[in-house]
């Protein structure tokens, strides 16, 4: 994902992440060498403890594998510093492992075997968490549907141990996306900030504009200085001066707010986020990127739901970017991966169940002319049309409601279909003024696309179909369906943090998912738990 796309679109971590940069994913993985020098392990005992662990030790002839000091120390250090990867050291028995390592030369054979199994169990878990996440989104959210991408860590770990190349294995297991690397950098940047001991800025009686005076301005200036959005002035006054306005604009730009220099509710809420809250937000986003597909494909559209942005990418180049409108908090846009199937010019709109229940039926009960005003035709289960007067509101679910094509159609002039169980799609809109808003969480779940005709022309991929010819088709008001012949994936994803040019970038967590995900992540894994998600 290129920089243009990016520019659009624990517990207290007291330990600094002091470790050497890891190699890029392009470094070849080490070759597994059979040079076993270990102690024999009871195969039945391992199998009884964990069948997947038995697979690993069978691969290694049921012998201990951590006999090289360099490997043990590297593994224990990775686990102890798991917080640097947005993970939690307590999930990997780090205290017990460190105790074993300190007296390694005095361990009995039985203790050596126990240490080996404990370290293998912990490091396999670490690699799995690093590659696919600690949690499963399907167990947390009803409207997230991401393809599984299991990681077979056993041959990787065997190769890393035998080749003294654990660093390559760790780098390989991490998500390969640039956004994930920018989250790693964001965590490093955040830890360079001093301890946050600032008071909360109280609620303002009115918006603050340049030249205003308020006692809260002193606290606002301290926040801006802390987050490096403005330099320390000679003195801190209560005047909202020009230098502070520039600082606020820097802050607003980093947080996806309207860059107007006016301090209102949204800017104040963002200013009151603490360092620890931002750390938790970054960690939650790192977990999400472990869930996302490792390979987006050569040709795809990627949607950042809380960023209100979408991009068309082909072979690493961003061809188009679009502002979008996404679902309200109570009708949230689902996270999913699919493939475009059709582009429909002058689409009809079959009203979906939620809107039938919550919007259409209440409005039509009050006034039957609602159907005519919205150009909606009612069909019964036989496919026959039903007049507005004959419509029975008590049996609203027994009808199908279809809006005719035209400038007032809720889908606008073009619709982009892709198979999914949520019955959502991308589409134009008859309310294009909404794209000028800063907060665009306004739809009933589908994604509305600003300036959609270039995207339609690209997906149709016909030399006879360009934007001008699509406009001509629109003028006919006749529905035309074009099959998307090229494989173009659609990734509707959710992320609220990253970094750019050593600056921390955040977006509003519109569905309030970050804090809850962090709380779920910090729950310690039970000692006898498996890694099945």
pLDDT of residue 10: 27
Count of residues in the chain: 533
| 110 Cβ contact partners less than 8 Å away, ≥ 6 residues apart | none
Same topology for domains 197-273 and 296-348+405-533, yes or no? Answer: no
| 205: Cα separation from own chain's centroid | 35
Which neighbouring-strand residues pair with 378? Answer: 386, 401
What DSSP element (H or E) covers 403?
A: strand 400-403
pLDDT tens digits, one per residue of 263-321: 999 999 999 999 999 999 999 999 999 999 999 999 999 999 999 999 999 999 999 99
| pTM of the predicted protein model | 0.90
3-state secondary structure at position 318: strand
- In the DSSP assignment, the letter for residue 302 is E
The CATH classification of domain 197-273, taken from the options 3.90.1150.10, 1.10.101.10, 1.20.1070.10, 2.60.40.10 = 1.10.101.10
| 467: Cα separation from own chain's centroid | 32
Q: Please tell me the class of the 296-348+405-533 domain.
A: mainly beta
DSSP string, 492-518: EE---EEEETTEEEE---TT--HHHHH
pLDDT of residue 29: 52
| 190: Cα separation from own chain's centroid | 19
DSSP string, 245-256: HHHHHHHHHHTT
Domain map (residue ranges) of the chain: 26-173, 197-273, 296-348+405-533, 351-404
Neighbours of 532 (CB within 10 A): 7
pLDDT of residue 26: 46
- In the DSSP assignment, the letter for residue 409 is -
Q: Are 479 and 423 in contact (CB under 8 A)?
A: no
Neighbours of 273 (CB within 10 A): 16
pLDDT of residue 531: 64
Segments in the chain below pLDDT 50 = 1-16, 18-27, 31-34
What DSSP element (H or E) covers 449?
A: strand 447-449
- DSSP E strands in 193-334: the ranges are 299-304, 309-314, 317-327
């Amino acid at each position: 994902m290129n920089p243009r796309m990016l520019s659009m679109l624990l517990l207290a971590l007291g330990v600094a992440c002091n470790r050497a940069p890891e190699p890029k994913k392009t470094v070849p993985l080490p070759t597994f060498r059979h040079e076993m020098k270990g102690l024999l392990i009871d195969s039945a005992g391992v199998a009884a403890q964990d069948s997947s662990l038995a697979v690993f030790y069978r691969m290694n002839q049921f012998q201990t594998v951590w006999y090289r000091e360099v490997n043990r120390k590297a593994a224990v250090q990775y686990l102890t510093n798991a917080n640097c990867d947005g993970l939690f050291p307590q999930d990997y028995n780090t205290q017990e492992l460190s105790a074993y390592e300190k007296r390694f030369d005095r361990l009995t054979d039985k203790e050596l075997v126990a240490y080996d199994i404990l370290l293998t169990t912990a490091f396999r878990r670490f690699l799995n968490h690093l590659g696919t996440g600690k949690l499963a989104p399907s167990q947390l959210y009803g409207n997230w549907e991401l393809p599984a991408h299991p990681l077979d860590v056993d041959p990787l770990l065997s190769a890393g141990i035998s080749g003294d190349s654990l660093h390559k294995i760790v780098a390989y297991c991490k998500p390969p996306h640039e956004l994930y690397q920018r989250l790693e950098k964001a965590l490093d940047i955040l830890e360079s900030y001093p301890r946050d001991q600032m008071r909360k800025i109280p609620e303002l009686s009115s918006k603050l504009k340049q030249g205003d005076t308020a006692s809260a301005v002193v606290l606002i200036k301290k926040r801006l200085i802390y987050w490096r959005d403005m330099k320390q002035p000679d003195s801190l006054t209560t005047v909202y001066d020009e230098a502070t306005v520039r600082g606020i604009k820097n802050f607003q730009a980093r947080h996806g707010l309207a860059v107007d220099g006016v301090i209102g509710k949204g800017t104040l809420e963002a200013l009151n986020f603490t360092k620890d809250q931002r750390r938790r937000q970054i960690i939650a986003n790192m977990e999400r990127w472990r869930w996302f597909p490792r390979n987006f494909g050569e040709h795809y559209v990627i949607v950042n739901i809380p960023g209100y942005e979408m991009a068309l990418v082909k072979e690493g180049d961003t061809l188009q970017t679009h502002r979008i409108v996404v679902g309200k908090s109570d009708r949230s846009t689902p996270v999913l991966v699919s493939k475009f199937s059709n582009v429909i010019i002058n689409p009809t709109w079959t009203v979906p169940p939620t809107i039938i229940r919550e919007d259409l039926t209440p409005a039509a009960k009050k006034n039957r002319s609602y159907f005519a005003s919205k150009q909606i035709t009612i069909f019964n289960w036989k496919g026959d049309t039903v007049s507005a007067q004959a419509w029975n509101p008590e049996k609203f679910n027994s009808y199908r409601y279809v809006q005719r094509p035209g400038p007032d159609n809720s889908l606008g002039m073009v619709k982009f279909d892709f198979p999914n169980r949520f019955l959502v799609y991308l589409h134009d809109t008859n309310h294009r003024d909404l794209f000028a808003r800063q907060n665009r969480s306004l739809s009933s779940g589908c994604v509305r696309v600003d300036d959609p005709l270039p995207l339609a022309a690209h997906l149709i991929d016909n030399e006879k179909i360009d934007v001008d010819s699509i406009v001509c088709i629109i003028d006919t008001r006749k529905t035309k369906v074009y099959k998307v012949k090229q494989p173009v994936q659609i990734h509707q994803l959710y992320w609220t943090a990253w970094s750019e040019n050593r600056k921390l970038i955040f977006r509003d967590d519109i569905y309030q998912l970050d804090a809850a995900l962090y709380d779920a992540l910090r729950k310690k894994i039970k000692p006898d738990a498996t890694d099945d998600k």
